[in-house]
Amino acid sequence: MTPNQSVAALLFVPVMAVAVATAPSQGKEGQAPPKFALDAALVLSPEFCETKFTKGSTMSGKETFEVGKAACESLEPALKTAFSNLARVDAESASGSAQVVLLPRFVDVGATRTVGAFSDRELIVLVEWTAKDAQARTVWIATVQGAAKRNMGNVFTAGKNRRRIVEDSLKDLAKQSAAKMLAAQEIRDLVR
Amino acid sequence: MHRNASWPVGGLIVLLLAGSLYAADQWPDYPVRAIGDYPNSMTTGGLTIAVEPLEDQKAQKTHFNTEFGKKGFLPVLVVIQNASNSDSFLIAKDKITYGFADGALSTPEAKSKAGSIVGGASLAALSLGGAVFAMKLISNATKVQQNILKKELQSNTLSPGASTHGFLYVPVPKEGSRARLLLRFLVARVGSDETLSVELQF
């Protein structure tokens, strides 16, 4: 073995050792996390789906973010990845025999503004989730943040860019919500 | 001659703009210590809550790029830890209330009185409070506002062994020395009808 080969071997062995040690915790690539074997009801009320936040002032210019509409398009498909059976209902009273009832509530929206049309702005949306069991007892609450970045846009594109950043942040929020629910021990306990 | 004179002014504007953009990404998170290191804390039923008012204006400037006192707010860091082996707790922001305490509240018997003082005002409604005043302060106000929102304590479930932290923005008088404040937390234990009440003064 040449000196170079020896150095390469010394570097290679620790890297392999680390790879072997971490492999079991990574799981199989591309494999979706297991769903909860639960009948879930997702409560998307008309009021929630119509939620809008207006930010800014008369001096800086007001902007309206139609977060409710985008949320009601994104949440159902995302949460179907977390529960074996998920039904969308428009009121908690319509949740029927669901084992877990999921209630979202908007907390706030934060939107930065930029000076240039081509600079990225950030939009964050906060939603508070409440999960109730079949006896209507709260078993879990969590606040989830969705975020997205996009160009502010010029006078012609600002409106379209605003709609897109809202859609992107709500898609992110829906994905984060599903992940947070799947990690919740208190929801997992309802499966038993 | 005129052209030459405009250079320093233009350069200054560019520097100010660049400075404010650079600063926007430079507001570090406030350091959070082990919960046992906070002198103002209370433990009950396996749950420990600690509070630390951030009164130092220099520290406020460092972590929020704004001074809260002049606008009638005090940022209070809240750290909550669940040391229970089996129970989860629901930390709901609409169950956190505040008020001004008086000397009588330092005795345990005065809790009901504290409740009556605190009961009327919920911090859940103050999410925008901090943000609104930030709007009026500086030119890159939206970034300050975003930072305040991101650092705010939010509703959460604390599983066994878990902890959470964040700031509450408590209204205080804009001028003069402030009276003692009291925060009351009503925390529900998952799977039971039990609610823990924790009150902290500072």
**How many C-beta atoms surround the C-beta of residue B97 within 10 A?**
21
User: What residue type is A87 in one-letter code?
Assistant: A
Q: What is the pLDDT of residues B116-173, one digit of tens each?
A: 233 334 454 444 344 444 444 434 778 888 899 999 999 999 999 999 999 999 888 8
What residues of B are in contact with residue A110 (Cβ under 8 Å)? 131, 142, 145-146, 149-150
What is the helix (H) or strand (E) element at residue A181, kind and residue range? Answer: helix A158-182
Task: Give the confidence band of B25 by pLDDT, cuts at 50, 70, 90.
Answer: low
Which one, of A148, A149, A152, A131, lies nearest residue A140 by Cα?
Answer: A131
Task: Bin B180: left if φ > 0, else alpha if -120 < ψ < 50, else beta.
Answer: beta
Asked if B164 is an interface residue toward chain A (Cβ–Cβ < 8 A), one would say no
More confident site: B25 or B106: B25
Q: What percent of chain A has pLDDT over 90?
A: 66
- What pLDDT does residue B41 have? 97
Q: Are B96 and B183 in contact (CB under 8 A)?
A: yes
Mutation target vs A (from B122, B155, B187; most A CBs, 10 A cutoff): B155
Q: What is the pLDDT of residues A155-188, one digit of tens each?
A: 888 889 999 999 999 999 999 999 999 999 999 9
Give the largest CA-CA distance in chain A.
76
- In this prediction the pTM is 0.79
- Mean predicted confidence (pLDDT) in B100-117: 38
Task: Give the confidence band of B13 by pLDDT, cuts at 50, 70, 90.
Answer: very low
More confident site: A57 or B99: B99
Helix ranges restricted to H, chain B: 2-24, 57-64, 111-118, 127-135, 141-150
* Rounded Cα distance, A73 and B22, in Å: 36
- Mean predicted confidence (pLDDT) in A77-101: 97
More confident site: B61 or A25: B61
Q: What is the pLDDT of residues B57-102, one digit of tens each?
A: 999 999 998 888 877 889 999 999 999 999 999 999 989 988 887 6
Mutation target vs B (from A102, A121, A140, A182; most B CBs, 10 A cutoff): A140
* Rounded Cα distance, A69 and B52, in Å: 39
Extended beta strands in A10-89, E state? 36-43, 53-55, 63-65, 83-89
What residues of B are in contact with residue A128 (Cβ under 8 Å)? 93, 154-155
- What pLDDT does residue A152 have? 81
* Rounded Cα distance, B88 and B190, in Å: 5
In this structure, what DSSP letter does residue A35 have?
P
- What pLDDT does residue B146 have? 87
Strand order in the sheet with A36-43: A83-89, A36-43, A100-111, A120-133, A138-151
* Rounded Cα distance, B54 and B77, in Å: 7
More confident site: A59 or B86: B86
* Rounded Cα distance, B149 and A55, in Å: 14
Q: Are A110 and A124 in contact (CB under 8 A)?
A: yes
Domains, in order of start, for chain A: 34-191 (3.40.50.10610)
Q: Is B90 in contact with A138 (Cβ distance < 8 A)?
A: yes
Task: Give the confidence band of B14 by pLDDT, cuts at 50, 70, 90.
Answer: very low
Instruction: Choose from A72-81, A157-166, B4-13, B177-186 the range with maximum mean pLDDT.
Output: A72-81
**So what's the ipTM on this one?**
0.80
Domains, in order of start, for chain B: 30-201 (2.60.40)
- Mean predicted confidence (pLDDT) in A50-77: 91
More confident site: A46 or B124: A46
Asked if B142 is an interface residue toward chain A (Cβ–Cβ < 8 A), one would say yes
More confident site: B176 or A191: A191
Whether the pLDDT of residue B106 is over 50: the answer is no
